[in-house]
Amino acid sequence: MNSHQIITVFVLAAAVFHSAQSHAAIIGTNVPAEPLTLARIEMLPSGQQAAWKLYLETSAQQRRADQQLLQKEMGERGLATSVIPPASRGVGSMPLNRRADWYETKDARRIADIIVSFQTPAGGWSKNIDLSDHPRAAGEGFASDNSSRYVGSADNDALKDVRWSYVATIDNGATTAELRYLAKVISALPEDQGTRYRDAFSRGIDYLLAAQNPSGGWPQVWPLQGGYHDAITYNDGAMVNVMELLREVAATKEPFAFTPQAVRERVEASVERGIECLLATQVVVEGKRTAWCQQHDALTLKPTAARNYEMPSLCSAESAGIIDFLMELPKPDSNVVAAVRSAVAWLEKTQLNDVAFRNVGDKGRLLVPAPGSGPLWARYYEIGSNRPIFGERDKTIHDRVDDISFERRKGYAWFTDGPAGVMKRFPKWNAARAAR
């Protein structure tokens, strides 16, 4: 970093800290994302409508298949409502870091059997289920209770059916983690013992390919659930997780060597379309590429909202994950190189030094001076001004973090040091590109 950049970063950090001490302002209201609908598709140029209509109908068909199976099982068991499966935060019930020979054990296969039992007819999995507890029983739901604890009126998280939410998703590592686990078990077993798991893995890959929209992106939930869940989702690395998995499958990286050539070719084409989507959604401000939002509208590709406190903006952590993915491509073309360089320049411009986000007595977490600390990034930056912004459950957007509620300051990662790793890896990557 040169002296001019150091001064710029210091001034920005000082400005952010000063704003936390001065009078705050509500600078806007978060507008809910638009779902993908037939009415919106019919506003597209006629040549683009057929692919989107097929995508929407495929979603409806797969959703019906998921629901009809569960309803049939409930009828056979005389159940008025489905049984809610046990919950488990994240994917901890599926160990993905054991020795290769562990995945042929009885314990490993038991978890694999449970995973297969919770696969939806569409081919995906829900999130936050304890997949080490028991196989799914007839009439038991595919998803645990994924409803928000803080839903208010006109909330972006309001559900039409609390028992049918995130039934299959790529959120929180779901579906990609199950596929990685099954691949490890398949690779550890003799071919004649892995048929059931290979079939489930194949259906899971088909699920991911079906979920990819005509723009090349993935929604958070498939079949489509409506609301912000229909948007192209970079939040918490969702789409990048999918693309990393598919790229490894296409390259026959272990433990995916068992994948047939025809599948690898389909997957490779999917990854290429995904890369095109990444490049197309990079936000351009005054002719310059910057970074990415957590969600982008499936049709317009523009930044869009998610939950009440997640507004259209430039997002540091998600952008860092995308940059990492692009830097790992074996043969990046000039468009990829330009996208990476621009995004890193944006991260360099927006990083904060000499501040920390920490607990201050009974006031909760605040942004405070911390000489020598950093670099640190706000999670959200206003598009155009690059000033950090913060959201509240009532959808108001604020320009200082200590103006939002104690609950939101405590329960959300408004600042992150995640992009620091990308900044360290970039110079070597960039030098290699310049040498060619």
For residue 24, what pLDDT band results from cuts at 50, 70 and 90?
Answer: low
Looking at residue 148, what is its pLDDT?
78
For residue 213, what pLDDT band results from cuts at 50, 70 and 90?
Answer: very high
pLDDT more than 70, % of the chain: 93
pTM of the model: 0.92
Residue count (the chain): 436
For residues 257 and 285, the answer to whether their CB atoms sit within 8 Å is no
Helix (H, G, I), strand (E, B) or coil at 296: strand
Q: What mean pLDDT is predicted for residues 226-240?
A: 97
Q: What mean pLDDT is predicted for residues 383-391?
A: 97
pLDDT digits (tens, 9 = 90+) for 341-350: 999 999 999 9
For residues 226 and 157, the answer to whether their CB atoms sit within 8 Å is no
> b/e per residue, 318-353, with b = 16+ CB within 10 A?
bbbbbbbbbbeeeebeeebbebbbbbbbbbbebbbb
Q: What is the largest distance, in Å, between two alpha-carbon atoms of the chain?
A: 73
Torsion angle, CA of 293/351/326/258, rounded to 10 degrees? -90
Looking at residue 154, what is its pLDDT?
79
Query: Of the residues 172, 213, 235, 308, which is catalytic?
Result: 172
pLDDT digits (tens, 9 = 90+) for 108-143: 999 999 999 999 999 999 999 999 999 999 999 999
> b/e per residue, 193-220, with b = 16+ CB within 10 A?
ebeebbebbbbbbebbbbbbbbbbbbbb
Helix (H, G, I), strand (E, B) or coil at 37: coil
The number of helices, as runs of H, and strands, as runs of E, in the chain is 12, 13
Query: Of the residues 307, 379, 400, 408, which is catalytic?
Result: 307
For residues 137 and 83, the answer to whether their CB atoms sit within 8 Å is yes
Q: How far apart are CA 325 and CA 269, in angstroms?
A: 17
pLDDT digits (tens, 9 = 90+) for 329-383: 999 999 999 999 999 999 999 999 999 999 999 889 999 999 999 899 999 999 9
Q: What mean pLDDT is predicted for residues 252-279?
A: 97
Is 70 exceeded by the pLDDT of residue 7? no
For residue 23, what pLDDT band results from cuts at 50, 70 and 90?
Answer: very low
pLDDT digits (tens, 9 = 90+) for 77-100: 999 999 999 988 767 789 999 999
Q: Is 307 a catalytic residue?
A: yes
Q: How far apart are CA 221 and CA 79, in angstroms?
A: 26
- Domains contained in the chain, CATH given: 1-30+308-436 (1.50.10.20), 49-146+165-281 (1.50.10.20)
Mean per-residue pLDDT over the chain, rounded: 92
Looking at residue 88, what is its pLDDT?
86
